[in-house]
Structure 1
Amino acid sequence: MGILKVQSVKKVYQSRRGAKVEALSDISFTVNKGEYIAIMGESGSGKSTLLNILASLDEVTAGEVLLEGMSYKEIPNEKLAAFRREHLGFVFQDFNLLDQFTLKDNIFLPLVMANLRVKEMNAKIKHLGVALEIEHILDKYPYEVSGGQQQRAAVARALITSPSLILADEPTGALDSRSAQELLDLFAAFHQAGQTIIMVTHSVYAASKASRVLFIKDGKINNEIQKTNMNQDITQQVFDMQSAAVAKRRTSL
């Protein structure tokens, strides 16, 4: 069942001098409920623009994005923040935690904005704290814990609203190899539990953990790798596909 539909999406920016730059050109794909997708592409390929559009942070020039049958175009501007809070969870490379708040308070932020009662918030964080193994550090501040623990708190903040879709932007980019592996293991566990995830990444290893990998080049999806089962190792396939794209670009320069 398609939870997210991206239909013929095009994005054109206009520079200050009036020149038009096409960041995305006729992007179409469907994400099924519970699917785990990685999006790869070189800098300037359009993947960050696509992620911003999926996050409803940028508008399409043409085409349409629908989440659970709801078109982004039909959401009034004044209701976009509430839509993101209720339907989308975000995990960023630099964690985006507020240093003046404890980890618990950082995780609670989306619930506070949704006016949930403290009792409800505590019930939600108890489960997530145990699942993410951060229940013992919830009263600490971001600068008092490791990068891996900060990212776990960021994941908890993304999941605490039970979103339809998790959007992750280079989530392992600021982590050491051990913390990155632990985060990917968490993503795999949440995916197996039915969470839908879209992750933008430069990491071949991170992408290989997804159930499907989309490759973007010059604003278009030009390749795709689909796992036949989650135990399939597609690391070499992803590496070969990425390497071929880099080699082709160097040849054309």
Structure 2
Amino acid sequence: MPGILLGDVLPNFEAETTIGKIKFHEFLGNSWGILFSHPRDFTPVCTTELARAAKLHEEFKKRDVKMIALSIDSVEDHRKWSEDIMSFNQDKACCAMPFPIIADDKRELSVLLGMLDPDERDKDGMPLTARCVFVVGPDKRLKLSILYPATTGRNFDEILRVIDSLQLTATKKVATPVDWKTHTERLAAVTIKQKAPEKKTKREREQNFTVFLKLRDSLETHTHTHTFGGHSFREILRYMEPEKNQVKLSVISLSRTQVFPKALRMFL
């Protein structure tokens, strides 16, 4: 079945939606985007999901993320169902959904993007759309893909958390640890270069080592590069000026490209 992988550019497909015909790339513009599919309109789990997504619309908007949903139902069904969703949210039934829903009644887009759930079928035996989540960057490339079976509803608060991480790591050389949330610790990647001793090679070569240090999330992140030979780990940390940058002196992990330098081997 066709699908899309992380880093792939999403196709600039045309689709009929509750706000009219769109081209996907033009709809996104220079914003981030989230495309999420659901099995069928007027079903209990799907109603709770889109109701929650509608309530969180302002949170997505704050992050410059445009939302768009998809299922195999018609535009007419989407519009009628939208009234139920807004009523479920205790909003006036006449209020419009804050994001469009794609009508993929021929399943062409669902097949193209690999969104169908083979274990869930309609009365005619045709597969329904699974609960897919695609987060797309301003470059129109896939940044995140989550695939839930039709029987399991999504957690849109978790999706917001992941978007916060994606947007942070898109602009800074950091990684976010387990259960990370904004205003908590993050990990900074610090690259150290070593010149190998002459006696080990006929030509001078460099080795790259990445040390992950804990940073307070409110601080700016810096990448430090240092060429050393025989320096102690304490001297390396002193070079990186941890007091100035308020880096906590705790090594999370160290990755290598060739051989660990003797100065760091004793710490592993």
Q: Flag whether TM exceeds 0.5 (same fold).
A: no
Which structure is larger by alpha-carbon Rg, 1 or 2? 2
- TM-score normalized with structure 1 length: 0.25
Looking at secondary structure, tell me which structure has more helix per residue: 1
